[in-house]
Amino acid sequence: MILVVGGAGYIGSHMLKLLRDQQEPHVVFDSLENGHRTALQSSLFVQGDLRNPDDLKRAFDAYPEIDLVMHFAAYISVGESVREPGKYYNNNTAGVLNLLEEMKSRGIGKFVFSSTAAVFGNPQYVPLDEVHPKGPLNPYGHSKLMVEQMLDDYDVAHSFKSVCLRYFNAAGADPDGVLGEDHEPEEHLIPVALLAALGRRPTMKVFGTDYDTPDGTCVRDYIHVLDLAQAHLLAVRHLRAGGDSRKYNLGNGEGFSVKQVLETTEKVIGREVPKEYGPRRPGDSPKLIADSSRIRQDWGWQPAYPDLEQIIDHAWKWRLAHLEGFGD
Ligand code: UFG
């Protein structure tokens, strides 16, 4: 059985859907601080917080058949992490340490970890492959890189096997329209643009127009949330087959500037996105584009939804059907 920590969140809930489709036994552990009960659907659920070891014990005691853990329960806002680093280190790093210690005490040594492109920081070259030097520009990236280091050390000391999946920019939604991206406050580019186009915000800000990129705005590699979930499934199969620890970059290998994303959004939704151009947001990397050839070669991972227009269209369909988000 898989313990899905943070399964009520954006990426976690898409993962749950895939696990249900695959009839893969699983139970969710989530504090519901940012997750949504509605997103859990029929999955088993334990409410608890990673920062509280007793909550973790309760979950593992209730489901002794857990043999593998996936972790999605992180704070994810780059900007907020610069303003409140302690919040990020406490949950994203110390919380995961609690989880690893609990797993170790029970002899559970298989872990799939949601890492991030933010571990790279300022790129020395793009696309970024796995061996590119690491240098986070913000506490969020540091909080995740520290866990990567902990996982290396646990492997050496305890033969603990992990797969770190370094997401580039997760976006889109399941096309069946039930699941979507609903953060409070919402800070990610595509959902923010959609909310602005719907008049749910007076305008949106473009953070920085003076980067060393073709149009001066930041470049990112947007990857469909279902393609991320699929990579997790491959990681589960690898670990269950006795595979060794791995780290993979996950993106489509194509960069889009903020301006390009907004133009594409306007084209897909047929509405204008009201926007203002403002200063840079502290902690932002100018350009993050993935080289995902390693996971493609090793596991045959192939994005099913690589097209940015389709990614935005799926996000838009969900937002139109859920103007108030999940409402819980
Ligand atoms: N942006 C704006 N205005 C907004 C929101 C975002 O201009 O209102 C810009 C950002 O400055 C950035 C780009 O749009 O250049 C993308 O920003 P997001 O906040 O959507 O995403 P980030 O790139 O900051 O971070 C995301 C995830 C992280 C992940 C990271 C890896 O939130 O979890 O991608 O690149 F680590």
Q: Can you give the three-state secondary structure of 190-220, one letter per residue?
A: HHHHHHHHCCCCCCEEEECCCCCCCCCCCEE
Calculate the alpha carbon distances from 205 to 31, 65, 79 in Å: 31, 48, 14
Residues 6+ apart with CB under 8 A from 191: 181, 182, 183, 315, 319
Tokens (6 digits) for 270? 């047929």
Residue 232, judged by CB atoms within 10 A of its CB (0-12, 13-18, 19+), counts as buried
Give CA–CA dist 235/162, Å, rounded. 9
Q: Are 221 and 168 in contact (CB under 8 A)?
A: yes
Q: Are 316 and 268 in contact (CB under 8 A)?
A: yes
Cis peptide leading into 274, omega within 30 of 0? no
pLDDT at residue 104, as a whole number: 98
Ligand 1 neighbourhood includes 11 CB (under 6 angstroms): no
Ligand 1 neighbourhood includes 28 CB (under 6 angstroms): no
Spans of the chain, pLDDT less than 50: none
Q: What are phi and psi of 70, to 5 degrees?
A: -115, 140
Tokens (6 digits) for 4? 């899905």
Q: Coil, strand or helix: which one is 172?
A: coil
**Which residue owns the Cα nearest ligand 1 atom 23?**
169
Ligand 1 neighbourhood includes 187 CB (under 6 angstroms): yes
Q: Are 28 and 16 in contact (CB under 8 A)?
A: yes
Residue 285 CA: which ligand 1 atom is closest? 15
Q: Coil, strand or helix: which one is 166?
A: strand
| CA dihedral over 117, 123, 129, 130, signed as positive or negative | negative
pLDDT at residue 282, as a whole number: 87
Give CA–CA dist 251/132, Å, rounded. 15
Give catalytic status of residue 140 as yes or no: yes
Tokens (6 digits) for 193? 């643009």
pLDDT at residue 305, as a whole number: 98
Query: Ligand 1 test: best mutation among 80, 181, 183, 189, most atoms within 8 Å of CB?
Result: 189
69 DSSP β-pair partners: 3, 111
**Which residue owns the Cα nearest ligand 1 atom 5?**
189
Query: Beta strand pairing status for 161-167 and 246-250?
Result: parallel
Q: What are phi and psi of 246, to 5 degrees?
A: -140, 160
CA-closest candidate to residue 76, choices 157, 191, 156, 211 = 191
222 DSSP β-pair partners: 169
pLDDT at residue 54, as a whole number: 98
Count CB-CB contacts under 10 A for residue 5. Answer: 28
Cβ density class 293-316: b for 16+ within 10 Å, e for less? ebbeeebebebebbebeebbbbbb
Cis peptide leading into 185, omega within 30 of 0? yes
30 DSSP β-pair partners: 47
Domains and CATH numbers, the chain: 2-171+223-250 (3.40.50.720), 189-219+253-321 (3.90.25.10)
For residue 189, report the distance from its CA to the centre of ligand 1, in Å. 6
For residue 193, report the distance from its CA to the centre of ligand 1, in Å. 12
pLDDT at residue 296, as a whole number: 98
pLDDT at residue 283, as a whole number: 84
For residue 324, report the distance from its CA to the centre of ligand 1, in Å. 22
